């Protein structure tokens, strides 16, 4: 049998040099891929994600890994992943990457019968593989070529130090108070919660996060949030990111969104929540969500599921939440599911708050200011 050309293996399609450099950073510095490791790359047919995926394919080959690309139609926030994707994930690759135009897609099997791991119920095989440390990963929903090339080659040392400083103080905090000049005045409980970092180090089994990376984030204590939240940057919806011109004002009671006011942007957010409720009920009728879990899924549509602080110096507000939520001098608060897997919902809508002042209340009554008008204070 004739020996195949190494050059053809490394470059299955022509890849621009700057994209190749960014992909090399992702494979070698972020994932630290090793020879022989299986790398599953799940993508869509659209040009940007397809090119990024094949750039990662080539970089993985150069690292001596064994990559495979699987292409499925584009999936939205309420869509199901193709069966072939779920089966490929069940093969438990050492590295699993989702490079998608929108989302990976939901796991119809696990939504109906959750995976169980150390007391947690997980409604996607992808989440189960990470929780059980059978794979490591990064996921890039809605990533573009320009974003990937600009925001992936960054100073990971500085980013990781900032992420770690914030995690250290969030982990011992009991409460967080967020204020802005636009009117945000919100208190969230943090008792029993631990912060997570998306610092671009996904080299250990079970590690994973976004690429571009750059945030420290935490799930608020259930039932804890009280006050006013004003989104003034952008916010996710099931039909794309909404750039906010007239701020969206949200009244929060017991960690739930109770009232939304503002202009056109507020109406778009309300419509997204309404469609999420309709789809949740339909999934229950179709058996994709168990009847036992339905009340929780319905209630958590309005839950505050995340507080995150952006830390990537190369990111800008572009109307793409993958990048926007990593921007310096911003925080984001999500409506919907959380990361501690005790508030499940079909949606997770990140909303950006510019220039926040964030104070943490620690045990014993001490207060630590971590940002002031967006500027890091640690």
Q: Answer yes or no: do 122 and 173 share one domain.
A: no
The answer to whether the beta carbons of residues 136 and 95 sit under 8 Å apart is yes
CATH number at residue 16: 3.40.50
Q: What's the pLDDT at 253?
A: 98
Q: Is residue 1 part of a domain?
A: no
Q: Answer yes or no: do 169 and 256 share one domain.
A: yes
3-class DSSP string for the chain:
CCCCCHHHHHCCCCCCHHHHHHHHHHHHHHCCCCCCCEEEEEECCCHHHHHHHHHHHHHHHHCCCEEEEEECCCECCCCECCHHHHHHHHCCCCEEEEECCCECCECHHHHHCCEEECCEEECCHHHHHHHCCCCEEEECCCCCHHHHHHHCCCCHHHHHHHHHHHHHHHCCEEEEEEECCCCCEEEEECCCCCCEEECCCCCCCCCEEECCCCEEEECCCCCCCEEEEEECCEECCECECEECCCCEEEEEECCEEEEEECCHHHHHHHHHHHHHHHHHHHHHHCCCCCCCCHHHHHHHHHEEEEEEEECECCCCCCCCHHHHCCECCEEEEEEECCCCCCCCCCCEEEEEEECCEEEEEEHHHCEEEEEECCEECC
Q: Among 145, 173, 196, where does a domain finish?
A: 145
Q: Is residue 212 part of a domain?
A: yes
Closest CA to 39 of 51, 27, 52: 27
Q: Answer yes or no: do 125 and 250 share one domain.
A: no
Q: What's the pLDDT at 119?
A: 87
* Residue 95 belongs to domain spanning: 6-145
Q: How far apart are CA 253 and CA 255, in angstroms?
A: 5
The answer to whether the beta carbons of residues 266 and 250 sit under 8 Å apart is no
Q: Among 145, 169, 186, where does a domain finish?
A: 145
Q: Answer yes or no: do 179 and 272 share one domain.
A: yes
The answer to whether the beta carbons of residues 207 and 201 sit under 8 Å apart is yes
Q: What percent of the chain has pLDDT over 70?
A: 97
Tokens of 10: 């490394």
Closest CA to 357 of 331, 335, 321, 332: 331
Q: What is the pTM of this model?
A: 0.85
Q: Answer yes or no: do 249 and 356 share one domain.
A: yes
Q: What's the pLDDT at 138?
A: 97
Q: What's the pLDDT at 11?
A: 56
Q: Answer yes or no: do 158 and 237 share one domain.
A: yes
Per-residue pLDDT tens over the stretch 34-56:
999 999 999 999 999 999 999 99
Tokens of 279: 């789809």
* Domain count along the chain: 2
The answer to whether the beta carbons of residues 252 and 227 sit under 8 Å apart is yes
Per-residue pLDDT tens over the stretch 271-286:
999 999 999 999 999 9
Residues of the chain with pLDDT under 50: 1-7
Residue 20 makes CB contacts below 8 A (sequence gap 6+) with 55, 58, 59
Q: Answer yes or no: do 207 and 240 share one domain.
A: yes
Q: Answer yes or no: do 43 and 93 share one domain.
A: yes
Q: What's the pLDDT at 215?
A: 97
Q: Answer yes or no: do 140 and 191 share one domain.
A: no
Q: What's the pLDDT at 1?
A: 40
Q: Is residue 206 part of a domain?
A: yes
Q: Answer yes or no: do 124 and 188 share one domain.
A: no
Residue 72 makes CB contacts below 8 A (sequence gap 6+) with 42, 43, 44, 81, 82, 84, 85, 105
Q: What's the pLDDT at 59?
A: 96
Q: Is residue 133 part of a domain?
A: yes
Q: What's the pLDDT at 274?
A: 97
Q: Answer yes or no: do 179 and 132 share one domain.
A: no
Q: Is residue 329 part of a domain?
A: yes
């Amino acid at each position: 049998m004739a020996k195949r050309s190494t050059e053809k293996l490394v470059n299955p399609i022509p890849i621009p040099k700057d994209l190749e450099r960014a992909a090399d950073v992702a494979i070698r510095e972020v994932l630290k891929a090793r020879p022989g490791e299986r790398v599953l790359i799940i993508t869509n047919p659209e040009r940007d994600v397809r090119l990024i995926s094949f750039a990662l394919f080539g970089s993985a080959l150069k690292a001596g890994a064994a990559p495979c690309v699987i292409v499925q139609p584009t999936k939205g926030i309420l869509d199901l992943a193709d069966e072939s994707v779920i089966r490929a994930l069940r093969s438990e690759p050492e590295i699993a990457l989702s490079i998608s135009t929108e989302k990976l897609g939901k796991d119809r099997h696990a939504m109906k019968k959750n995976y169980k791991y150390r007391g947690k119920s997980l409604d996607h095989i992808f989440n189960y593989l990470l929780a059980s440390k059978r794979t490591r990963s990064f996921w890039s929903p809605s990533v573009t070529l320009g974003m990937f090339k600009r925001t992936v080659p960054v100073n990971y040392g500085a980013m990781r130090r900032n992420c770690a400083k914030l995690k250290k103080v969030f982990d011992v905090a009991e409460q967080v108070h967020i204020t802005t000049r636009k009117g945000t005045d919100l208190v969230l409980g943090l008792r029993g919660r631990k912060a997570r970092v998306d610092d671009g180090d996904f080299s250990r089994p079970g590690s994973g996060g976004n690429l571009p990376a750059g945030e420290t984030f935490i799930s608020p204590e259930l039932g804890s949030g009280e006050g006013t939240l004003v989104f003034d940057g952008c916010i996710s919806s099931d039909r794309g990111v909404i750039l906010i011109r007239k701020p969206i004002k949200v009244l929060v009671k017991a960690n739930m969104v109770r009232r939304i006011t503002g202009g056109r942007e507020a109406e778009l957010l309300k419509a997204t929540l309404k469609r999420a409720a309709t789809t949740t009920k339909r999934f229950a009728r179709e058996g994709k969500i168990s009847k036992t879990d339905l009340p929780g899924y319905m209630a958590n549509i309005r839950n505050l599921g995340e507080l995150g602080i952006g830390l990537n110096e190369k990111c800008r507000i572009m109307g793409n939440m993958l990048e926007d939520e990593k921007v310096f001098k911003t925080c984001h608060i999500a409506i919907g599911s959380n990361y501690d897997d005790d508030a499940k919902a079909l949606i997770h809508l990140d909303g950006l708050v510019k220039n926040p002042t964030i104070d943490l209340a620690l045990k014993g009554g001490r207060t630590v200011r971590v940002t002031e008008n967006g500027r890091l204070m640690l």
